Amino acid sequence: MASAKVFVLRTCDGETFEIDESVAYVSETIKNMIEDGFGHDLIPLPNVSSKILLKVIEYCRKHVSNFESSKKTSNGDEKDKDNDSWKKEKEAVPEVEKDAEEKARVEELKEWETTFIDIDQQVLFDLLQAANYLNIKGLLVMAAEKAASMIRGKTPEQIRETFNIKNDFTPEEYEDIRKKDAMNDFTPEEYEEIRKKIADNHFTPEEYEQIRKENAWAIE
Amino acid sequence: MLSCKRNVLSQIMKRTKKNKKKLRKKTLIRNQNPQFEEEESAAEEEGDRGEGFSLKSSAPSHSHGVQPLGNLFLSPSTSNSRITGLGNLRILTDELVLDILGFLGGSHLGVLATVSKSFYVFCNHEPLWRNLVLEHLKGDFFFNGSWKSTYISAFYPSFPVLNNGSSDLKVRDFYSDYLFQSWLCASLEMKREWLERDNIERRRGISVEEFILNFEEPNKPVLLEGCLENWAALEKWDKEYLTEVCRDVRFSVGPVEMKLEDYFRYADRVREERPLYLFDPKFAEKVPILGSDYKIPLYFREDLFSVLGGERPDYRWVIIGPAGSGSSFHIDPNSTSAWNAVIKGSKKWVLFPPDVVPPGVHPSPDGAEVACPVSIIEWFMNFYGATRDWKKRPIECVCKAGEVIFVPNGWWHLVINLEESIAITQNYVSRRNLVNVLDFLKRPNASELVSGTMDRTNLYDKFSSAIEATFPGTIDQLVSKAEETAAKQKKPSFWESVTDAKVGQFKFSFGS
């Protein structure tokens, strides 16, 4: 391999990291800084800690190596710009083999991503902010999706617990929302009540229809 | 018919100070923000320099009482409910929180809205619901006053939805610049001073030769009056007629395709920062009678791309949109010139010559991308003022029904509909800009820049050979003429300026 250019990044806590040009370019922010001529010395990243930058670099390295291997097998799914050379390589490998390899690559990437993003909330949010600041779209999407997955399917109380959120509605306000917006879920106690009633068959079909209509749309 | 409420232009012209004060009482924002009011009256004293804005009279106060962050410093309570209300997510910016919420489906957003006041406000952010509607319903949505209610009534039809915003909870201590700004831009009216400058040249009844000599050749914009007299469209085109004639035909509206009836239903009711804009390049193919309801004005009949027949790039569009819709700064594709005729409504235009980059706009050096991060209204709020103190002022005008504007090739332009508008626009190549167009199509990055056709890299070859076949010798003739003129003016051609790509190519940018 030709001698790849190397850049040095410095975090807010004073640590330095050396990375290849291709890895650095995964971050649009760093790429722009280099193109504007700031690559000779240390590239300062005052908004990123070393702990987080380690994670970011891990992501960038994986992204680069994944792209390299995809050049041999993919059908052009990668959205990177300068990928004209892959067309020639593609012709060299027979179709069936390519498909199987491609499948395996995608599978492996998914698994890697799941493990990679299985982190503390605090680290996750720091990573999200870093991805935003460094302008690394894939990482931003991955982290945001992970955060969303921590919200999906939970009741309001569970969400509050997960993220340490205070319920700051007054009882009147809460009632207001439930009646007019009624986008909410039942509280665990209410679920219990309803569940019991259904189990004990205390609802008339009309009552059940009524309740279902009033509040069901958010819990389907 | 166009509703009077939406006729922003006439409202502004008629408004008196008295009405302004009445407006203030209606809006929560004014009452809760002494600083805001101070700025407003200071503005009125100074005349034009102030930050005061007038809200559309149809705009209620922010439906959830969101205030900008600055208010936090003035309020008696020192708490921003955002802090406790978002929990661990409070360290994230509003945009990042919205990025996360963008991954949630409708019912999950609904549940999240009851978690805390802050999440209640975030989850009612209309753009989130707009994305959900467009993703799941594409162009087949029945707009119900807001994107959220549109979504709910589509997916949960048995659920009773109230259409106006008055049922929403008013949150008292929530401060967010991003959410407030978003609401502000959606509710803002065009300030009178943004519409005052009208310095375009106007002509009526000039000959084609005069037009070519005085405007097309020197590449100057002009507003032409009285050349749409023979347009059936001026009489016939209104919402009823168009809906009847187009029925179930679908037109391009942003990322989706919609029937006119559905689009009008949306346009009549919507109030948002970046309304969906109907912009269809195949309207005459889809509904031939529309093509026969108008005629290309005399001045623009030379149409050299026609030598390509069916393979020509997109060249004519019908444009329909509510007040506030429009296009932010751009240069028309393929280095073509354009004309834009207003059939109904009115448009505000701001134009800059090719070598002057408008303030707030950042084109990439190769010209392939233009970053104009702000919406049209935001551009007026933040950057319009800068144009006043510069020698290189833009050309501006308001183009009304029956008028046609000529946009010379390479000119930057921004358009905003001041009321619901219907227009037709065409891009064209004549002998006056043929050389420019060929240069453009020849460029090394033609595959990214050329637009309106599926065949980007070959367009140059196809076009130049077709022209040579139909008008032999023309290209050479025009090229040598252009070289002569350029030598006289000593203007660097695109090729010469390429070497200076990073240095001073855009010499006349505004500030940072």
Residue of chain B with shortest Cα separation from A158: B115
Chain A partners within 8 Å of B84 (Cβ):
165-166, 168
Looking at the complex, does the CB of residue A132 fall below 8 Å from at least one CB of chain B? yes
Of B234, B225, B410, B200, whose CA–CA distance to B299 is shortest? Answer: B225
Query: Pick from A144, A152, A168: which is nearest to B84 by CB?
Result: A168
A12 touches chain B (CB under 8 A): no
Amino acid at B309: G
Q: Give the span between the Cα atoms of B99 and B93, in whole angstroms.
A: 10
A147-198 pLDDT, tens per residue? 999 999 898 899 999 999 988 888 888 877 765 554 444 455 654 555 555 4
Nearest CB neighbour to A218, from listed B84, B107, B162: B107
Q: Does A178 touch chain B (CB under 8 A)?
A: yes
> Is the minimum CB–CB distance between A152 and chain B shorter than 8 Å?
yes
Q: How far is B237 from B274, CA to CA, in rounded Å?
A: 25
Residues of B in contact with A177 (CB under 8 A): 113-114, 120, 169
**β-strand pairing of B222-225 with B403-407:** antiparallel
What residues of chain A lie within 8 A of the CB of B89, using their CB? 125, 147, 163
- What pLDDT, on the 0 to 100 scale, is given for residue B501? 43
Q: Does A167 touch chain B (CB under 8 A)?
A: yes
Q: Could you tell me the CA-to-CA distances from A189 to A155, B109, B116 in Å, in that order? A: 12, 22, 19
Q: Say whether residue A120 is in contact with chain B using an 8 A CB cutoff.
A: no
User: Does A150 reach chain B within 8 Å, measured CB to CB?
Assistant: no
In this prediction, residue A54 carries a pLDDT of: 96
Instruction: Name chain A contacts of B167, Cβ cutoff 8 Å.
Output: 180-181
Band the pLDDT of A84: cuts 50, 70, 90: very low
**Is A129–B116 a contact, with Cβ atoms under 8 angstroms apart?**
no
Nearest-CA distance A192 → chain B (Å): 18
Sheet with B403-407, strands from edge to edge, namely B202-204, B222-225, B403-407, B337-344, B421-428, B316-321, B278-280, B250-253, B256-259
Pair of tokens at residue B236:
């016939």
Question: Across the interface, which of B85, B102, B159 has its CB nearest the CB of A166?
Answer: B85
Q: Cα separation of B363 and B31, whole Å?
A: 41
Q: Nearest-CA residue of chain B relative to A167?
A: B116
Phi first, then psi: give them for residue B67, nearest 5 degrees: -120, 155
pLDDT on residue B35: 37
pLDDT per residue over A21-41, tens digit each? 999 999 999 999 998 888 788
The nearest alpha carbon in chain A to B115 belongs to A156
Predicted local confidence at residue B370, as pLDDT: 65
Give the nearest chain A residue to B123 (CA atoms). A183
CA distance B23 to B11: 13
Kindly give, in sequence order, each residue whose CB lies less than 8 Å from that of residue B59, ignoring residues fewer than 6 positions away.
Answer: B27, B186, B187, B271
Report the complex ipTM: 0.74
| Residue in chain A lying closest to B174 (CA) | A168
Q: Which tokens hold the place of B295?
A: 């005629």
Q: What residue has token string 């085109």? A: B237
pLDDT under 70: residue ranges of chain B? 1-65, 69-81, 159-174, 365-373, 446-449, 456-457, 490-512
Give yes or no for a contact between B351 and B407, defined as CB atoms under 8 angstroms apart.
yes
Identify which of A176, A185, A188 has the alpha carbon closest to the alpha carbon of residue A211: A185
Please tell me the predicted confidence (pLDDT) of residue B160. 65
| Cβ atoms of residues A150 and A161 within 8 Å | no
Tell me the C-alpha distance between B130 and B148, whole Å: 7
Short-list B170, B61, B130, CA closest to B273: B130
Closest chain B residue by Cα to residue A146:
B100
To test the contact with chain A by mutation, choose from B77, B93, B100, B166 the residue with the greatest count of A C-beta atoms within 10 A, namely: B100
Distance of residue A158 Cα from the nearest chain B Cα, in angstroms:
9
Contacting B residues, span 134-173, partner chain A, CB-CB under 8 Å: 152, 155-156, 158-159, 162, 167-169
How crowded is residue A71: how many other Cβ atoms within 10 Å of its Cβ?
Answer: 18
Q: Does B91 touch chain A (CB under 8 A)?
A: yes
pLDDT of amino acid B251: 96
Q: Does B83 touch chain A (CB under 8 A)?
A: no
Smallest Cβ–Cβ distance between A183 and the set B87, B93, B110 belongs to: B110
Mean residue pLDDT across chain A: 78
